[in-house]
Chain A
């Protein structure tokens, strides 16, 4: 069993429970042991606009906590993964900044060296576990379902600091979904942003961005949308109705976390995967599980 410190981030821990449930249910079957550590805080990414130093510190302290336990970090939230990645990159390049961070971390009895590796759901599944291993556990393939993938922005860009997926032609989610038996297809709006960050100060614009994307996906005839970030999922799933109203469209699109579909294909019970928490019409599709 490969051990990872699970770094859940704020949104998954306080609101998007289905992601956490499906992660905890499906990954152990693939040989992943998730360790819960104490002392984590927000990764700081949403506060980058307020004070980037705060963001760097918050990310550094979370990485240091995992480092102390000699664990690599698994961050299922794309925004957290970006914050932690950028922190590793900046502190890796800039010795002065690293020193400055460590001086402050000392107050909390922490030290950052950069030894813990970092993964997100997509590269954990595709690169580290591997498609062949995933296929072995599929008992209820997602047959006859055409799914659109939404990578979001933060696991694909900026490629300069190293991201788990390609920035212009990401295909890892498609490979995973095909291994689960589903059909996938390209669509022009695939790399469009969900606008979630604008919920902080321009909520209507956030809803417009998500509404536009959902409308396009629906018009292309997909049976559902798959995402890998609690910010994106909240917009597309929980706020789908409002998003639809904002763009004057009747939206009726099932939206899943990748790990929920993973669990369903592995034959795990719908309830354990938090499917009752999805507010989008997930029952529109007949998928496996009891």
Chain B
């Protein structure tokens, strides 16, 4: 028996060592020592920014799309079963998880920003020089504020998580969320250098972006919640004067400026397309501006001096989360089912119907009208109405974020799926080809925010001058409101502008959409929101304050801590499109 014991013992000795059972990741790193150097800090930052492309992976479920459709400047058409668009229009929900991609990717961004904010300060100056450390941290703070601003304007009260630790949280008060936004932006402004944008790298958040974002948050918070100042998480607050000072610094020091012609802001003036686009050819003749002076400010990857912060796309789009590498809004909102709509690409036609009254209220001599809106009947003679069970189709169509194509041949018979296929080597696929920047903050917006804060007409007139319309005499809120509406139409800003200008303003604006002429399945009809939602705009706005529902599954997962946004119940489920 001794021998048996000996053999067993020998066998036991053979293994039993914990090294044998250790695991070392070979294609991942661990948080123990990451980021450890500048290159890794750059990776961490890219990891945060990329959540913005993740968020826009599906063009009908992203923040931008909802802001557009919920506002008064778009009617949420599309296919009769494109329920996201129809639901956003009518303050219903398409399904209990309607905004799940937005919620998930935004908190993913927050988590990654938290990680950066926790880890980067620990890097020694030897590893990362202080200027670079400040830059990286400043961007992380900016992004966290940017994400919370999205959540706070889309859902209202949400969990405020500012650590990477796992926490079970209910919704924070709006005051606390905005205080955190203010503190983060303040930190970003203090950390980021006061250098002209031309000496920064395109795509990275700058001090100027942080200042502009602060103004945006300040205006929304004080307007929507009827407050005079924006609180800070650490105590104290941001005064209006402080915001004005920051914006003035932006105007004088950032190097940002308005581009010369309003058309230059939009992709359809790219150099491959502009010569074949009759509208631009005509405009060139009428205005006396040579066509080559009207070319897209971002043409061939040029830096648009007006862009302060934008989402940047690339040529690597695929079918998974990397679908967000392309600008899917330009696909989802593209002209539905069109194959002969040069220079605008066919798309899915969701949430891009402009109600007629917007067109009509626009001063006819304001060049921004035709620069921003396609009057389909007059501009696109080969347009086919009623494609693919199209409902709530308008004759007026948003021009700013619709994919743009170009002719590949002299005979003008062949087009690729986007002009970027030739210009940038984009993927040549009807769904993945669009890569034009989604501009979140541009200089004209800053000027108009400054005008509004300082109540100074001069900034309004700068914007008007660029558009070629006459200056106005004095500042008034009404003039400012109108100016913002037309200068910044279809850029995802209108909805929050409406809301911060008050519930009455919002409801009146929303109700104006009723009666808009539309086409359902190609047949003429009149838009009436109560056919989508019997309660109508005003009642739903009063019930919801314009916020949208938190994905139900996330509420289920919150162990009872999270409650659905007031005004949203399962009875608000969109049923089906009825005429």
Chains A and B belong together in one complex = no
Chain B residues close to A by CB (< 8 Å): none
